[in-house]
Structures are given as structure tokens and as C-alpha cells.
């Protein structure tokens, strides 16, 4: 029986028969459909995915004419993490001139709004110089990262310490206070960077700390949209499901805990976002075909329910990409092609 080369969600190589591939694709889409109460992928979609995973080529790509726009979270930190000694300006020139970047992003190495706030006076002139010498649109980005607002590093009691003690109302109050601080920092950084000339602001890995963080991002988007009607605001998520760490928070009458991407985007659109990025987490115990079918199911429902351009997160550990620091080209190119062609994405 013919076997097809693929990988598990942790990147390790496996070989699957056609029937095993079909089973994984069907189980992946069913898992997403049942969790989010959305339609599973169609027979045509599953057949297309099967073709992608049966293709023996090392690397694959979308059909000519189906190319999409790439945006980058944490753009200028990536080369430094690989210990390549280049400045932010040089990083952006590499993105522009060597990597075919459709858009670019500048960010602080400590990629959260709270630490970025205190070095804005250094970041602003760097961004201003970058805008003079580069051509593609330039975002400034960081993470809302509510966790940074807890003691001892931040001003608020730690809800994760309060919950085990049964102090639920205190934990909720702490999260509400953390969200207020985060909104101020996001609005401050977004404002100064836009007033320095940035084309847009990116809220990356949003709702990593749950529903209070998602609410903070919604409020920050709302304020920035009122202040700067022309500003591009991109919101990328941390995971497919908003954790109910608070549990009672709402926006426009909608409870935030438990929302899946097709509902998350509705609220971000109301708040005033320009581009939305759903993030579907990779399960390392399942195969890449299972993970891509699952990610495509959530993302397709999000695209179909959105008036905004959708740039899905397809980076390490999300969007069907294995959780490994050196993502294999075979897995990444298959996830890239599958997510674009199956879900009709506007970008990645």
C-alpha cells in the first residue's frame, strides 16, 4: 500500500496511507465544526486537501493568481532572535528588498505594549527613518500581554494566585484593572506611532490571557479608531478560543468567554479593526493533515462571516504549522497553500 510522507504537529516525520490521510482530514474538520458549531469542510475541500498531502513534492504553492498579502508579526525581532546582527532599519530593508514582503512591521525586542511604552522616544525616530527609506506599508506592533500588569512586575494582584484561594470576585476585579492599564498603554503606543507616520498598528497574540485581554484590545481599537479614522488597525489572535479567565465580561452585549474566530471577528469589526487574524492552535499529538483541516474549518467560517480582510496566523504552532523552531518547508508550504485556497483568505 502506498504511503505518503507527512508530519505530526510536533514536526516529526510520519507516513500515512490514503485511507489514514482521509481519516485525519475528516476528523480534523469534524473536531472544529463540533467545537464552534460551524459547517465542516465540503467534500470538494477535503478532496483538494487530500491532493495537497498526496503530492510527493517537497514544496508546493498556490495556483497562479491566488497569491495573497503577507503581514508579519514581531517583524524586526526575528533576525535578532536568530543572532543575526542587524538593526531595525536593516531588518526592514531585508524584508523589503530580499524577502518579498508585501507589508512590514517594526517592533521592540520585548514585544509587548507595556515595555514598548517606556522606549517610545527611541522607537519613534527609528520608525521615522524607516519610513523615509522604505516603500511598503509599515506597521508598529506589539502584544497586549495582560500578564505583565500583575504583581510583582505590575500594579495589580495576580488573578492566578487569587483564584486557587477562592477569591473569585477579587480575581475578576484584578483582571478588570489590568485591562484598564493595558488599554492606556495600547492607545498611547498606537497614538505616538501613528503620529510619527506609521501606516498602522498591530495587536498581536491578542487574548492570550483570556477574555479580559480581548476586551482591552476591543476598547483600544475603539478609541484609536475614533482618534484616527484613517489608521489601519490589525488584530491578530493568540488562539482559536477565548479563555474565560474572568468569565463575565461582555462587549456590545456579547459574552467574550468561549468565542470562536467567526464570532471574534464580528466584535473586532464593530470596534473598528481594519484587518483580523484568526489563530488556530496546532495539536502536537495529531498529524499535520488533521491540524490543517481543523484550522481551515475554523478559518473558512471566519472569512465567510467577515467584511474585513482576513490575515490568518500561519506561523509556528498555529494555522496547521508544526510546533518546532525550524518549521519544515514541506509542512509550511502545504499549510500556506491549503489555508489560502480552501478558506479564500486575504492574507497570512
Partner 1 sequence: MGDPLGMHITHSIASGMGGMRTAGDLVGRMQMSRGMKIKEAKEYVASKLKVSVSDLADPVVMSEVREDLDIGRVNALPRIAKGIDAKFRIADLLDIEINCVNMFKDRINRKLRV
**Interior CA angle at 44 toward 38 and 45, to 5°?**
55
Phi, then psi, of 188 in degrees rounded to 5: -60, -50
Q: Which of 145, 140, 76 is nearest to 109 (CA)?
A: 76
Q: How many CB atoms within 10 Å of residue 209?
A: 28
**Site for partner 1 (CB under 8 A): which residue of 92, 186, 215, 345?**
345
What minimum distance in Å lies between the beta carbon of 113 and partner 1? 20
Task: Say whether residue 19 binds partner 1 (CB under 8 A).
Answer: no
What single-letter DSSP state applies at residue 75? G
**Site for partner 1 (CB under 8 A): which residue of 187, 212, 332, 342?**
332
* Nearest CB to partner 1, comparing residues 144 and 322: 322
Q: Which of 99, 77, 98, 97 is nearest to 88 (CA)?
A: 77
What minimum distance in Å lies between the beta carbon of 55 and partner 1? 12
What minimum distance in Å lies between the beta carbon of 58 and partner 1? 11
What minimum distance in Å lies between the beta carbon of 168 and partner 1? 36
Q: Scanning residues 216 to 235, which ones bind partner 1 (CB under 8 A)?
A: 230-232
Q: Which of 113, 105, 112 is nearest to 311 (CA)?
A: 105
What minimum distance in Å lies between the beta carbon of 341 and partner 1? 9
Contact of 154 with 145, CB cutoff 8 Å: no
Question: Distance between CA 224 and CA 190 in Å, rounded?
Answer: 7
**Site for partner 1 (CB under 8 A): which residue of 13, 99, 122, 168?**
99
Task: Say whether residue 336 binds partner 1 (CB under 8 A).
Answer: yes
Q: Which of 4, 13, 2 is nearest to 53 (CA)?
A: 4
Task: Say whether residue 194 binds partner 1 (CB under 8 A).
Answer: yes
The residue ranges that bind partner 1 (CB under 8 A) are 59-62, 64-72, 77-84, 95-97, 99-103, 128, 131-137, 194, 197-200, 230-232, 274-275, 307-309, 314-316, 321, 325-329, 332-333, 336-337, 340, 345-348
Amino acid at each position: 500500500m502506498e504511503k505518503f510522507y507527512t508530519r505530526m504537529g510536533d514536526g516529526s516525520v510520519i507516513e500515512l496511507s490514503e485511507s489514514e490521510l482521509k481519516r485525519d482530514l475528516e476528523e480534523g474538520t469534524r473536531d472544529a465544526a463540533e467545537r464552534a458549531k460551524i459547517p465542516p469542510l465540503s467534500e470538494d475541500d477535503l478532496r483538494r486537501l487530500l491532493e495537497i498531502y498526496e503530492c510527493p513534492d517537497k514544496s508546493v504553492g498556490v495556483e497562479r493568481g491566488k497569491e495573497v498579502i503577507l503581514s508579519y508579526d514581531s517583524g524586526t525581532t526575528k533576525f535578532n532572535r536568530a543572532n543575526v546582527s542587524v538593526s531595525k532599519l536593516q531588518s526592514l530593508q531585508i524584508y523589503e528588498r530580499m524577502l518579498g514582503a508585501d507589508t512590514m512591521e517594526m517592533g521592540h525586542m520585548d514585544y509587548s505594549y507595556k515595555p514598548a511604552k517606556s522606549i517610545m522616544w527611541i522607537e519613534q525616530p527609528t520608525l521615522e527613518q524607516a519610513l523615509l527609506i522604505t516603500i511598503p506599508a509599515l506597521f508598529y506592533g506589539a502584544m497586549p500581554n495582560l500578564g505583565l500588569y500583575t504583581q510583582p512586575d505590575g500594579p495589580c494582584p495576580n488573578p492566578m494566585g487569587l483564584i486557587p484561594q477562592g477569591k473569585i470576585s477579587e480575581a475578576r476585579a484584578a483582571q478588570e484593572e489590568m485591562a484598564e492599564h493595558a488599554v492606556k498603554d495600547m492607545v498611547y503606543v498606537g497614538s505616538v506611532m501613528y503620529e510619527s507616520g506609521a501606516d498602522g498598528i498591530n495587536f498581536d497574540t491578542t487574548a492570550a490571557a483570556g477574555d479580559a485581554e480581548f476586551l482591552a484590545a476591543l476598547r483600544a481599537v475603539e478609541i484609536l479608531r475614533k482618534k484616527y479614522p484613517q489608521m489601519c488597525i490589525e488584530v491578530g489572535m493568540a488562539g482559536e478560543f477565548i479563555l474565560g479567565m474572568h468569565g463575565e465580561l461582555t462587549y456590545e452585549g456579547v459574552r467574550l468567554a468561549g468565542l470562536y474566530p467567526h464570532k471574534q471577528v464580528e466584535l473586532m469589526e464593530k470596534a473598528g479593526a481594519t484587518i483580523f487574524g484568526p489563530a488556530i492552535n496546532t495539536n502536537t499529538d495529531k498529524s499535520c493533515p488533521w491540524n490543517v483541516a481543523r484550522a481551515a474549518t475554523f478559518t473558512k467560517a471566519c472569512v465567510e462571516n467577515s467584511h474585513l480582510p482576513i490575515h490568518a496566523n500561519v506561523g509556528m504552532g498555529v494555522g496547521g504549522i508544526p510546533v518546532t523552531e525550524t518549521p519544515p518547508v514541506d509542512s509550511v508550504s502545504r499549510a500556506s497553500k491549503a489555508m489560502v485556497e480552501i478558506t479564500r483568505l486575504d492574507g497570512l
